[in-house]
Structure formats: C-alpha cells, structure tokens
Amino acid sequence: AFPKRVKVVEVGPRDGLQNEKNVVPTPVKINLINMLSETGLQVIEATSFVSPKWVPQMADHTEVMQGINKLPGVSYPVLTPNLKGFQAAVAAGAKEVSIFGAASELFTKKNINCSIEESLERFDEVMTAARAASIPVRGYVSCVLGCPYEGKISAAKVAEVSKKMYSMGCYEISLGDTIGIGTPGSMKEMLTAVMKEVPVGALAVHCHDTYGQALANILVALQMGVSVVDASVAGLGGCPYAQGASGNVATEDLVYMLNGLGIHTGVDLQKLMDTGTFICNALNRRTNSKVSQASCRL
C-alpha cells in the first residue's frame, strides 16, 4: 500500500541551479523561489552557504535568503557544510539547514577532501550549534546506490552513515542516488538495510534520472513506506559526472505520478509547470520535464 500523503522537497533552486552551467542573476533566483512558494510546495531548498570560490552559482546566498518571500507553513532549508556556513546562514535568516554526508570514502575525499569520519566530525559542530539555536537539520547521504569513483556501494555502508547522521540529531535523512545508476532492485536492497537503523518516517529519497530510472526507483521507495521525495522543478541540474546527461528528477513528472496514484502532495501541477517555464526561459534551455514537454502547445 502507498502512503496517503507525500512531502515533496523541492531542490531546484539549490541542487538544480548549482549544476546548471549558466550563472543565474539574484533577482531570477528570488523570483524562482517565490513562484515555487505559490505552488503548494512545503519545502524549498533555497541556497547553499558555501564559499563562492567553490560554488560561484551560490555566491549570492545571503541576498537570496534575505530577498525571498517566506510563506508561513513553508520551510526554506539551506546547505551548511560547516560551522562558518551555519553561522552565516542563521545570520541571514535561515530557520533550517542541511548537511551532506556520503556513503563512499573516495567520493568524500574528492568532494570535500576528507574522510567520511572527518566529515561527520565537522558536522557535529554544526549539530551542536543547531541544537542550541533550535534549528532543525536535514542530513543527506550521497552515493547510496553507487559512486562515480568506487562503483558499487554496499547497502550496509549506507545504513551505517545514515544511522550516524540520524543519531547526531538530523530529523530526516535524504538518501541520494547521486549518479542515477540505481534501479528498483538496488533501491529495495538499500532501503531494506537502512530501514533497520532509521525509522521509515525519517527517510527521504533523492533520485537522479541520469539513466531514466528515477520514477521507477521512487515508486519502489513509496511501496516500502517512504513518504518524502526530493525533486527539481523542470529537472534542473545536469549530472557533473556524465557530460550532457540529465540529473535531478523533474518535480512535475513526480507530481504527475503521485496524482495518478491518488497520493496527496498539496502541489498545484499547473503552477509548477509555469514556474518551470519561467526558469527555463531565464536559463535559455529546454525543460527536462516530460510532463511539461507534453503539455506545451508551442
């Protein structure tokens, strides 16, 4: 049986834009987030408090955070890779933050130049500060169904890292198929292992559609009781590990499927599509959402 309600976590403005080539002006980012706020989405990942040296797209994090309309009932989490980022985020008005772990040692080394253990120690500082400020923290685990460097990732390792992040105080763990190579088979195996350590109510899936498997993988996760799904409007965000390939699953296509299953999301699909049209025009690119492509009468 499927969950009756699913919480859709919109990651377009952060994960999506971060993986788009064109740098988007601040007013466009703000308008994107404001439009998303009107669609009924409950969670919109707004930006990332990382050094602009590493992620130029997110250099305007403070302006974006301060510039957006914050609708009551909508959460605007931001990425905070370390204590410094956390403090900047809170100063800019953030009320929820996210931290990014990984189930692969090599990925962690290449991505943030330390081991998994060391990254968790850094996050501990953030957790302590967040707890003191009553700020909820969402934890991400990358490479849960495979790693661009290590290849296969054991389900047990994913469960281990998830458990650690949950025990540290993350209220939710988003399991990311970072390079989209997972299939319903590997998704099931991974979730079975993780669900032994973390309650299903605290789990989310973050599927990439690089191999076209995202909706099938999400379907399996839903069948196993997961009720939080990450997605990106218009499928923004390519895959940095496979040139020209797609990345995030499109929110429109996800909502279309959930609607068809009679699962409540609270999201207005038409408004979502309109938002996708807006940001694609601003980026001068075609949408990655098939629902949008099919619905467009151009």
Partner 1 sequence: ESQASGLPEYIKIVEVGPRDGLQNEKVIVPTDIKIELINRLSKTGLPAIEVTSFVSSKWVPQMADHKEVMRGIERHPGVQYPVLTPNLQGFHSAIAAGATEVSVFGAASESFSKMNINCSIEESIEKFEEVAKSARNMNIPVRGYVSCALGCPYEGNIIPAKVAEVSKRLYSMGCYEISLGDTIGVGTPGSMKRMLEAVMKEIPLSALAVHCHDTYGQALANILTAIQMGVAVVDSSVAGLGGCPYAKGATGNVATEDVIYMLNGLGINTGVNLCAVMEAGNFICAALNKKTNSKVAQASFNNGTI
Q: Which of the 8 DSSP states describes residue 58?
A: G
Pairwise CA distance, residues 165 & 123, whole Å: 9
CA distances to 136, 139, 193, 214 from 158, in Å: 22, 13, 8, 19
Q: Tokens for 172, please give them.
A: 């939710």
In the complex, the smallest distance separating the C-beta of residue 192 from partner 1, rounded to whole angstroms, is: 9
Which CB, 98 or 232, lies closer to partner 1? 232
Catalytic site residue 239?
Answer: yes
Nearer to partner 1, 162 or 186 (CB): 186
Among the listed residues 142, 2, 10, 5, the one whose alpha carbon sits nearest the alpha carbon of residue 74: 10
CB of 184 to partner 1, least distance (A): 6
Distance of CA 158 to the CA centre of its chain: 17
Q: Which residue in 147, 207, 239, 280 is the catalytic one?
A: 239
State the nearest-atom distance from the C-beta of 226 to partner 1, in Å.
13
**Amino acid identity at 102:** A
Three-state secondary-structure class, residue 48 = strand
Q: Are 261 and 221 in contact (CB under 8 A)?
A: no
User: Smaller CB distance to partner 1: residue 131 or 196?
Assistant: 196
Binding site for partner 1 (CB under 8 A): 180, 182-186, 188, 209-213, 215-216, 218-220, 223-224, 239, 241-246, 250, 253, 256-257, 259-262, 289-291, 293-298
**In angstroms, what is the minimal distance from the CB of 105 to partner 1?**
21
Backbone angles phi, psi at 121, to 5 degrees: -65, -40
Q: How far is the CB of 216 from partner 1 (least distance, A)?
A: 4
Quick one: 136 or 266, whose CB is closer to partner 1?
266
* C-alpha distance from residue 204 to each of 105, 112, 115, 174 (Å): 22, 23, 24, 4
Name the residue nearer to partner 1 (CB basis): 141 or 250: 250
Report how far residue 34's alpha carbon sits from residue 41's, in angstroms, rounded to the nearest whole number.
11
CA distance 179 to 239: 7
| Catalytic center residues | 239
